[in-house]
Amino acid sequence: MDLYEHQARQLFEEYGIVVPRAEITDSSKKAREIARRLGGRVVVKAQVKTGGRGRAGGVKRAADPAATELTARHILGMDIKGHRVRTVMVAEPIDTAEEFYVAYALDRARGGFLAVASAQGGTEIEEVAARRPEAVARVPVDPAEGVTSSKAAEIATAAGLPPQAVDTLVRLWQVLVREDALLVEANPLVRTRQGRIVALDGRITLDGNARFRQARWGTEHTGHDDPLEAAAAARGLTYVKLDGEVGVIGNGAGLVMSTLDMVADHGARPATFLDTGADVGGGACARLMADGLSVVLSDPSVRSVLVNVFGGITVCDTVAEGIVRVLDAVRLTRPLVVRLDGNNAARGRAILDERARPLLEQAPTMDTAASGAAELARQG
């Protein structure tokens, strides 16, 4: 359950983390009024649940209230990676001396949490991590111990953060624990020329399983901004929009996550996480597969689609029927790679062979399916 930036900012402020003065609005005229209250010069930021806003033109400075109105008018209604901008945040600019990156994230492999921090923060943190991995500190956090002042000092030292950041590191951990978060990120966390530590931007993902304890966010904040996410949810599918080009569909979250990793290992980026459900039998699995394939094929960023199914209660021949149902209704314009294994897999493969399409191919293993889908995406 992702929060908007302005909601993350609200939590930061509640926990004593310094943030810029800011207000949100869905009106360009009101943005002008906000800028006047904030002193004239502001930053206008699109409020969408995705990264890359700055590069997409969703974060801009405005020199005065009149310019703020024009800027807000331009940003409102923008489409950023499939997310429609319905509100903007108008925030005071901060005179920064240094930018840092800090995040706490659930580390499922270790059964704990991981602090990730760098003195080279800001919008280019992904490039920093790729080019200079030694510049990004990764410090395991024992959930039982948490982030005490001494642990925060250890993280700050490892990342090269100033001592003034220690208190903020402790408070960010408090946000994660008390708000049932899986991820808390401040990027950038900055030191101003006056020596204050300020969180300019925030990203928080709450644990959906703890939603009953976080009722204050209500339905307004748990809905789906992405129309594809909304369409998938309405059909009982678990769907997450990603930033890549290979649409991935599978039955069971573990299998889908493994498939995402394998696609990445073959040099491509997944565009979707779509789980039709691991324990679905009968006609339901055909319908869910058909619905899932329809959703993924509706995404213009998808260059190839990989369907990876292991049949248990789900039977592969019924999955194949669902795929055929979609292909009978729409013309396939992007390559589709299908790997079927398990219960009734031979029959499922035969059904697809009987209804062959020019852009449909089958793969015998998960590895060859991921490799084929990655290569087809690069060619597309």
Encode pLDDT of 72-95 as tens digits: 999 999 988 778 899 999 999 999
Is 21-91 a domain of CATH 3.30.710.10?
Answer: no
Domain ranges of the chain: 21-91, 96-215, 227-379
Q: Return the amino acid letter for 195.
A: G
Distances (CA, A) of 142 to 105, 159, 218, 328, 347: 12, 18, 31, 53, 49
Which of the following is catalytic: 98, 154, 185, 245? 185
Greatest pairwise CA separation for the chain in angstroms: 71
CB 284: neighbour CB atoms within 10 A? 15
Which of the following is catalytic: 4, 101, 104, 239? 101
Helices (H), the chain: 5-14, 28-37, 65-75, 125-131, 149-159, 166-178, 227-234, 253-265, 283-297, 316-329, 345-354, 366-379
- The residue that leads in pLDDT, 296 or 110, is 296
Q: What is the DSSP string of 39-76?
A: TS-EEEEE--SSS-TTTTT-EEEESSHHHHHHHHHHHT
Residue 246's SS3 state is: strand
Is 227-379 a domain of CATH 3.90.1150.10?
Answer: no
Q: Return the amino acid letter for 298.
A: S
Residue 109 has pLDDT above 80, yes or no: no
Residue 181's SS3 state is: strand
pLDDT digits (tens, 9 = 90+) for 277-310: 765 555 567 888 888 899 999 898 999 999 999 9
CATH homologous superfamily for 96-215? ATP-grasp fold, B domain (3.30.470.20)
Residue 124 has pLDDT above 80, yes or no: no
Active site residue 185: yes
Evaluate if pTM is beyond 0.85.
no
Chain mean pLDDT for the chain:
88
pLDDT for the residue numbered 362:
96
Cβ contact 200:5 at 8 Å: no
